Structure 1
């Protein structure tokens, strides 16, 4: 059988630890066929972020058009993108082209090296038109604290509010209260995804790869819950694949 097609819209990281190169490596391990769309050009390695050049919405859509016109793409993962205006233009184009396409959004506010991309304070107000078009958003604890404008004790309440518009996977890698525990919020319910190990090696691009794995598993026909669980197992293996900041992909 032919593999399902999946697209990553993400930054071009020359180290291939994050962004579109890392996503395509992840897709290949999951045995889906991955396409890559560049949303920014970065000058960086695994520890140092130096500079970034954004790719406009028109240029992103121009890259998408010949692929979507030829191939039936099941899922699109979106990572680093210039701003919410560009994001909305891109998601709207995707849904107009294929109303059934699933979209996984991994919001990237800050590079691992500390470079700030966005300050999406009160992100819900700005993001509602986007959230209504997507299948999942995957912020980490620090990102959601800023985007949701929420105190530590209100994080779950805020995530439940966001889940009225689309499911939220609140990643626990930076959560001091429940390290490594993810929470999946869907409208009216939430599930706890416990880590299988407490001993992990830090990796550049781990958030990108988790969301890419979820996208791949959705394309393979898994439910959202199962896709998130499988992706969590994948990322734990990736994190412990070696002791450097650049992990190895293996399924």
Structure 2
């Protein structure tokens, strides 16, 4: 695997393969990046129904990380579903210790599309964001994490302490506009709102597409634009809530 670009996803298992680390690996593979995975939750779900999160305890997450990092030094890491801020902090600290320069993306999942709610300790996540390169919340997650208030109070400088991609897919605007705050600049990525916006796992797909393209040497704004275009193809891929781009 010396000539292969590898990335790591630390996320939940979704048996429908529409979200979680299976979806992440499929997306990375589409772009020619080899994805490996650490499981944070053995969820019970399909694309329409979320039954239980099935959280994996930290000791098992750590053991998975230790095993993979003995073989590889991951420079590109995506984090998805985590039980609480304490777990996220331990994961990020582990990655930073093993691979200090790793590019880390966190897709904060406040609730499953089927209605199950996570991240009840929202305030505790803010300090951890300063150790992360990119956070990709949708409008509800942005509000839930209190990012606007945190910026106003000086608790975090979005685009400087941490780049933030605010996704517009869950708003009611005619256009789906994603806004990237990065290195003191603002970038807008616009597209028509598509009828497939109800697809399962869109956050996983977008964040993984961005990470894969950063791994391929794209700048973050370039990677976000490519990820946005890929997401549009995903949303148009057939009927039902599962999407797939060939």
Same fold (TM over 0.5): yes
Change (3 A) 1:88 1:216: same
RMSD (CA atoms): 2.1
CA contact (8 A) 1:180 1:198 kept: yes
Structure 1 residue 200: Cα displacement:
3.3
Given that 1:49 and 1:115 are in contact with CA atoms closer than 8 Å, whether structure 2 keeps it comes out as: yes
Matches within 5 A, 1:167-206: 167-177=163-173, 179-195=175-191, 197-201=192-196, 202-206=198-202
- Measured in 2, the distance between the counterparts of 1:212 and 1:158 equals 31
1-side partners of 2:98 and 2:147: how far apart?
Answer: 33
TM-score by length of 1: 0.90
Shift of the 24–113 alpha-carbon distance from structure 1 to 2, 3 Å rule, reads same
1:139: which partner in 2?
137
Question: Which residues in structure 2 correspond to 1:95-244 (within 5 Å)?
Answer: 95-121=96-122, 123=123, 126-148=124-146, 150=148, 161-177=157-173, 179-195=175-191, 197-201=192-196, 202-244=198-240
Please list the CA deviations of residues 153-210 of structure 1 after superposition, one character each: whole Å capped at 9, or x if unmatched: x899799843342000000011224641000012422111111x33331210001110
Question: Can you give the 5+ residue segments of structure 2 that lack an aligned partner in the other structure?
Answer: none
Whether contact under 8 Å (1:25, 1:249) holds in the other structure is no
Gaps of 5+ in 1: none
TM-score (norm 2): 0.92
Asked if structure 2 preserves the Cα contact closer than 8 Å seen for 1:128 and 1:165, the reply is: no
1:230 to partner: Cα distance: 0.5
> What is the CA–CA distance in structure 1 between the aligned matches of 2:152 and 2:143, rounded to whole Å?
12
**1:74-94 Cα shifts (integer Å, max 9, x gaps):** 211000001001100010010
What is the match of residue 14 of structure 1? 15
Moved more, 79-88 or 170-179: 170-179
